[in-house]
Structure 1
Amino acid sequence: MTKRPNFLYFIADQQRADWLGCYGHPVLKTPNIDAIAAQGMRFDNFHTASPVCMPNRASLLTGRYPSLHGLRYNGCRLPLSANTFVSQLAEAGYNTAAIGKSHLQPFTDMPPIGVNADEVADRPDAWRWDDGNYGQEEPGRYTADGRYDFKTPYYGYNHVDMVTSHGDKCGGHYQQWFRERADDWEALHDPANQLPHDYTCPQANRTPIPEDLYPTAYIRDRAIAHLDSCVGDDAPFFTFVSFPDPHHPFNPPGKYWDMYAPDDFDVSLPFDAHQNPTIPMKWLHANWQGAGGQTTPQTAMMLDEQHIKEAMALTAGMMAFVDDAVGDIMAALTRNGQLDNTVICYNSDHGDYMGDYNMLLKGALPFRSITRVPFIWSDPENRKAASSDALASTIDIAATVLDRVGLKPFNGNQGKSLKPVLEGAAQVRDDVLIEYNDGGRRLGFDKPARVRALVSPDWRYTIYKDQDWGELYDLANDPQETHNLWDSADHFAIRAQLAERMNQHLMAQMDESPLADRLA
C-alpha cells in the first residue's frame, strides 16, 4: 500500500460478546457487523481490562490498567497528561476523530454514592491536578444554543462530536443538535409522553423520539459526514465511532421497539443454576425477593424471568439500530473508495449480565457475561474470515494499532500486540488480568469493592479485597461458571498456582514510565 492504513473503530456500550450473530446469538440478527467479521478476525476470548465504562475506555486509549492510568472507577477522570495511542497517531500525521460517546471525564454533575462523609471530606489528594479543562463532557457545557466549542486535542483526538449519557436523553453536542431540530424537544423528553406499551421491566421507556432524531442516528450521520470530509485528504484517518447503546435504559425508538418480542428469548442460566452462590449473589437474591430496589439505575440487580426477557427484547432492538447504523457507515466508506485501505474494528467497552443468574446490568462479580466482549479486526491486507481463541485484553488494542502502523508504543504501555495472532500465531499471552474498583458501597459490601480476576484458558481466579472468600472456576469443564471451587480441597494446588501468577500481575502494576535519565 502507498500509505499507512486508515482505521474505522466501532464500539458499542455494554454489549457482551455473545450478543452478535457472528458470535452465535440464536435470535439477534446483526448482518452488517457479521459482514465485518466475515472479512476479518473474530477474537473469541477477548476480555475487558475493567468491566465498567470509564476505566476500560481509558485502558483502550492508554494500553494501561486502571491502577496505572488513574481512571480507576466511574466518576474519575483520565489525566490530560496521559499519553494515548491516538496522540501518537496524531503526531504521526493521522486525522483523528471521536464521534459519539467518549466518557474519559465525568458527564454528570452528581456526587458519588455509597461513600461516608469523611471519605469525601475536603482534603488534598496524593497528586496535584494540572490546570487543564476537565469538564468538557459535563452537562453545563451544552445548555446554550448553538454548538459548544470543544477544545482539542482531546486525548489525541483533533475532532470531537461529543455524545454523553445513554438512552434517548443523551447530552453533549447531540443535545444541542436535538434541540435545534425538535421544536417540542422538552415534550419529547418528558416521561409522561412516552408511547403506550405493556412492558413492566425497570427502565423500559417507549420513547416518542423518532428514529432520525435518536442518538444512534446522530452518530451515524456525523460519522458519515466526517468520512466524507476525509475524501481527498492525503493524511490517513483514525475515526472512533462510539454508540451509547445497547446500554440501559431500554428505549429503542420507532420500529426497533417491537422488532423483537420477549417470548423470542430464554433465560438459560437462572440463579438456581449456580451450585454455591457467593455472598454478593446471595445479597442480590435477597434484595430481589425483598423488593429492595437499586442503589442507582446503573447498579446490578436481579429480576424475574419475564422482566429479563423484556430487557433482552428491547436490548436486541437497540442493537439492531446500531447494526443498521454500522451498515450505513460502511456503505459510505465503500462509496468513498476508502474501504480498500481501512482497518475496520468492532468492540464493546464491557458486557451485561443480561439474565445470567437472573442478574441484569454489571457490577463487582466478574462473570464472563460482563468481562468477555466482542473484538473484530478486518484488515485490508487479509479480508478473510477467521477466528481465534487467543486470550486478549483491551490493553492490547493500543499496541496492536501502533504495530500495524509501524510505530512503537510509548514507554509504560502494558499491552501486547495482537498482530502475531492476526498473522496466524496461536497466542501472545497466557492469561489476562481484570480489575474492578467500585466508587461506592454496593451489593452488600461494607466498603467499595476492590476486585482482581485472573483469566487463563482453563481457569478464572478472583480475589476480593479484605474478604475471606473468593472464586475459582474451571472454565474447561464449567464454562458457564456455575460451581465455585474456591473451598475445594482438591483444587488448593491450582488455586495456589493461580495466586502466584496473580501476584506476578500485581507486581507489574508499577509504572515503568518515565525511565530514569541518570544513574542516580
Structure 2
Amino acid sequence: MIAMKRLSYHGHLAWLCGLGLFACGGDLPGPEENDLVVILIVDTLRQDALGCYGRENARTPRIDALAAGGTRFDQAISSSGWTLPSVASLLTGTWPAMHKATGKSTLLTPITGDLPVAAEVFGEAGFTTIGLANAAFLSPLLGLDRGFDVFDHRHAYNREIRRADETFDTALGEIAAHSGEKIFALVHVFDVHLDYDPPQGFIEPFVNGRSDPPPPLSMFQCIEMGRKGLGPLPADKRYMRGLYQGEVAFVDRAVGRFIDGLKELGRWSDTTLVLISDHGEEFWDHGGFEHGHTLFDELIRVPLIMHLPGGEARPGQSIAQSIIDTQVRSVDVMPTLFDMYNIEAPGSFVGESLLPLIAGKSRPAPPAFSQSTLYGADKLSWRVDPYQLIYDLAPDADPKYELYNFRTDPETIKDLALELPEVGENLHRDLARFYNDLKARAKGIRVPEVKNMSPSDVSKYLESIKVLGYSGREEDE
C-alpha cells in the first residue's frame, strides 16, 4: 500500500494549449453541492453477468437495485479489451494511442506524463482524491497513482488478491477519515478475474453440485478443459462460467455493503456513483478464452451504471431515462462528471457528457473506437451503430477485417464482410482516416520508459520501497 501526494496538473496547461488540447483561460470553478464521487471498477465483469442486463439467476440484487434506481447504459464500449489501456483511458479521457499505457505480456508502458488525469482535475477543483486498486497492471509503476492524495494499491496477481469486501471496508475507512471534505474516490476490485475462486456460500448456487476440479480454477486448468483450442465440453464450460458467476455474486454483496456503509456515514444522499468494468471475459464465445486477445463485444461492451444524488442530472433537472440504448464510450464518463460538478475539462478529454442523454435529450451516437491487445497482433474496433468492424493490424492478416451487425446479431457470430462489402469498405475508410489522424496527433506526446511487470521484477520493487520505509501508508514526500 502506497499513499502519494497529489501533483498539480497546471504544469501541463501550456503544453496542452500549444497542441490545442485544452480550452485555456480562466480559473476552474468550484464543485457543486454534491460532494462524493465514486468510480467502482469491477475488473473482468461481463455485461451479461448481471441480472439487470438480462442474466437469469445472476444473484446480483444490489447492483440490479443500483441500476433500477439510477441509469443503465446498454451499449457502453470500453477503449480496450484489457486492464491497463482501458483504465488509463478512463482516467485520461482519451485513447490508448494518446495516453501510451499499452504493451505486451508483462512489458508495459506507463501513462504518459504529458496528459492530465482525472484525479488531478478533481484535486484542483477542491476534492480530496482517494484511490484503491488491486492489480499489478494498475501499479504506481505505471502512473496510475498520479493525482491521488491517497493511493492504496496491492500488486495482485491471479492467486494473490485483496477481496472486494476488504477493499470496500478500506474505502469506507478513508471516506470516514475525510468527513466533511469533497471526495473523488476510485475503487477497483479484482475478484472476478482469474483464478475463479468464489468464497464458500457463492459456489454451490452456480455449479449444480460439481466440485472437480476444485476451485481455485486457474488459467492453465481452464485452457486444459478447453482441450487445447478445440473448445470445452458444454459441462466444463458451464462449470467455469458458474465459478465466475460465483465471484460476481460475491462482489455484488460487497457493493451492497459499501453502499450501506455510505448510508451509515451519512454520505449516500450526496454520492455520485459510477459502476463500470474495464473489460469482460471470453468463454470461447469466438473460440478463445480470458481477455486481452480480441476486441469482440464480450470484452469491450461493458456494464455502465450511474447513480446520481437526488435523482437529478443537474440541480433541478430530473433524470428522464433509466435505461439508455444509445452507444456511449468509457471515455465519456469523466466528461460527464466534470459537467455535473461544473469543472472545466482539459481538452485532451475527448469524450462527451452523458448528462443530456440522462435528462432525456437525444443525440447521434458517436463512433466507439477500441484498440490494443495484450497478446498477439494488435487489433482495432470501430463501432458505428449498428455495425462493428474489427481490423487486424497484422501485416499478413487475411481477411484484414470482420464486419458484424450488433443489433441483429448481438453475439456477433455472422461476419458480414463479404455480404455487405460497401458497408465494410466505408467503415474501413472512416476507421483508417480516424486512426491515421490519431497516430499523427500522438507523435507529439512523450512515451515513458517500458516497465517489466512480471511478478519477480515487481517483487524487487516492493522490496526496495520497504527498505526505503514506504511499505505502509506513509506519505511519499
Asked if the contact 1:411–1:513 (Cα under 8 Å) also holds between the matched residues in 2, the reply is no
1:310 aligns to 2:239 (yes or no) = yes
| 1:399 Cα deviation after fit | 1.3
Output the amino acid matched with 2:182: P
Asked if the contact 1:49–1:394 (Cα under 8 Å) also holds between the matched residues in 2, the reply is yes
Q: 1:134 aligns to what?
A: 141
1:230 aligns to 2:160 (yes or no) = no
1:220 aligns to 2:168 (yes or no) = yes
C-alpha separation in 2, matches of 1:475 and 1:2: 39
C-alpha separation in 2, matches of 1:374 and 1:236: 26
1:58 maps to which of 66, 85, 88: 88
2:129 maps to which of 88, 96, 107: 96
TM-score after normalising by structure 2 = 0.75
2:308 maps to which of 379, 388, 391: 379
| 1:263 Cα deviation after fit | 7.7
Q: Structure 1 residues 237 and 417, CA, compared in 2 at 3 Å: closer, same or farther?
A: same
| 1:134 Cα deviation after fit | 2.9
Q: Structure 1 residues 2 and 358, CA, compared in 2 at 3 Å: closer, same or farther?
A: closer
Gaps spanning 5+ residues in structure 2: where?
Answer: 1-30, 211-222, 313-318, 446-477
| 1:502 Cα deviation after fit | 1.1
Asked if the contact 2:115–2:348 (Cα under 8 Å) also holds between the matched residues in 1, the reply is no
List per-residue Cα deviations over 1:27-78 (Å, max 9, x = no partner).
Answer: 2111111111111110000011001111101000001111110012353222
1:453 aligns to 2:453 (yes or no) = no
Task: Give the alignment of 1:43-192 within 5 angstroms.
Answer: 43-73=73-103, 75-101=108-134, 134=141, 154-170=145-161
2:110 match: secondary structure: coil
1:322 match: secondary structure: helix
Asked if the contact 2:86–2:278 (Cα under 8 Å) also holds between the matched residues in 1, the reply is yes
1:414 maps to which of 344, 350, 362: 350
Q: 1:3 aligns to what?
A: 33
| 1:262 Cα deviation after fit | 4.7
Q: 1:511 aligns to what?
A: 441
Paired residue total: 389
2:431 match: secondary structure: helix
List per-residue Cα deviations over 1:373-404 (Å, max 9, x = no partner).
Answer: 00001111426671001111111112111111
| 1:164 Cα deviation after fit | 2.6
| 1:221 Cα deviation after fit | 1.5
| 1:156 Cα deviation after fit | 1.3
Q: 1:346 aligns to what?
A: 275
C-alpha separation in 1, matches of 2:187 and 2:35: 17
C-alpha separation in 2, matches of 1:2 and 1:479: 40
Asked if the contact 2:133–2:153 (Cα under 8 Å) also holds between the matched residues in 1, the reply is yes
| 1:424 Cα deviation after fit | 1.3
C-alpha separation in 2, matches of 1:369 and 1:80: 31
C-alpha separation in 1, matches of 2:47 and 2:287: 18
| 1:248 Cα deviation after fit | 0.9
Indicate the larger mover: 1-10 or 154-163.
1-10
| 1:316 Cα deviation after fit | 1.3
Output the amino acid matched with 1:486: A
C-alpha separation in 1, matches of 2:307 and 2:57: 24
Q: Structure 1 residues 484 and 96, CA, compared in 2 at 3 Å: closer, same or farther?
A: same
List per-residue Cα deviations over 1:112-149 (Å, max 9, x = no partner).
Answer: xxxxxxxxxxxxxxxxxxxxx73799xxxxxxxxxxxx
Indicate the larger mover: 239-248 or 493-502.
493-502
C-alpha separation in 2, matches of 1:134 and 1:312: 33
Asked if the contact 2:262–2:268 (Cα under 8 Å) also holds between the matched residues in 1, the reply is yes
Output the amino acid matched with 2:109: C
C-alpha separation in 1, matches of 2:226 and 2:33: 62
C-alpha separation in 2, matches of 1:59 and 1:464: 21
C-alpha separation in 2, matches of 1:303 and 1:291: 6
Asked if the contact 1:103–1:164 (Cα under 8 Å) also holds between the matched residues in 2, the reply is yes
C-alpha separation in 1, matches of 2:124 and 2:93: 17
Q: 2:215 aligns to what?
A: none
| 1:345 Cα deviation after fit | 1.0
Output the amino acid matched with 1:164: H
2:200 maps to which of 254, 274, 286: 254
Q: 2:362 aligns to what?
A: 426
C-alpha separation in 2, matches of 1:104 and 1:82: 19
Q: Structure 1 residues 316 and 429, CA, compared in 2 at 3 Å: closer, same or farther?
A: same
Q: Structure 1 residues 288 and 492, CA, compared in 2 at 3 Å: closer, same or farther?
A: farther
Output the amino acid matched with 1:396: D
Q: 1:19 aligns to what?
A: 49
Q: 1:191 aligns to what?
A: none
Gaps spanning 5+ residues in structure 1: where?
Answer: 107-132, 138-153, 175-214, 265-286, 294-300, 441-447, 516-520
Q: Structure 1 residues 105 and 22, CA, compared in 2 at 3 Å: closer, same or farther?
A: closer
Asked if the contact 1:85–1:409 (Cα under 8 Å) also holds between the matched residues in 2, the reply is no
1:454 match: secondary structure: strand
| 1:320 Cα deviation after fit | 1.3
Asked if the contact 2:73–2:305 (Cα under 8 Å) also holds between the matched residues in 1, the reply is yes
| 1:512 Cα deviation after fit | 7.8
Q: 1:331 aligns to what?
A: 260
2:425 match: secondary structure: helix
Q: Structure 1 residues 335 and 312, CA, compared in 2 at 3 Å: closer, same or farther?
A: same
| 1:217 Cα deviation after fit | 2.5
1:434 match: secondary structure: strand
Asked if the contact 1:411–1:514 (Cα under 8 Å) also holds between the matched residues in 2, the reply is no
> Among the aligned pairs, what percent are the same residue?
23
Output the amino acid matched with 2:178: C
Asked if the contact 1:70–1:77 (Cα under 8 Å) also holds between the matched residues in 2, the reply is yes
Output the amino acid matched with 1:134: L
| 1:359 Cα deviation after fit | 3.7
Asked if the contact 2:369–2:380 (Cα under 8 Å) also holds between the matched residues in 1, the reply is yes
Q: 1:474 aligns to what?
A: 405
2:251 match: secondary structure: helix
TM-score after normalising by structure 1 = 0.69
Q: Structure 1 residues 258 and 289, CA, compared in 2 at 3 Å: closer, same or farther?
A: closer
Asked if the contact 1:263–1:309 (Cα under 8 Å) also holds between the matched residues in 2, the reply is no
Q: Structure 1 residues 242 and 512, CA, compared in 2 at 3 Å: closer, same or farther?
A: same
Asked if the contact 1:450–1:464 (Cα under 8 Å) also holds between the matched residues in 2, the reply is yes
Q: Considering only aligned residues, what root-mean-square deviation do their CA atoms show, in Å? A: 2.7
C-alpha separation in 1, matches of 2:125 and 2:234: 52
C-alpha separation in 2, matches of 1:253 and 1:25: 21
Q: Structure 1 residues 258 and 375, CA, compared in 2 at 3 Å: closer, same or farther?
A: same
2:37 match: secondary structure: strand
1:483 aligns to 2:414 (yes or no) = yes
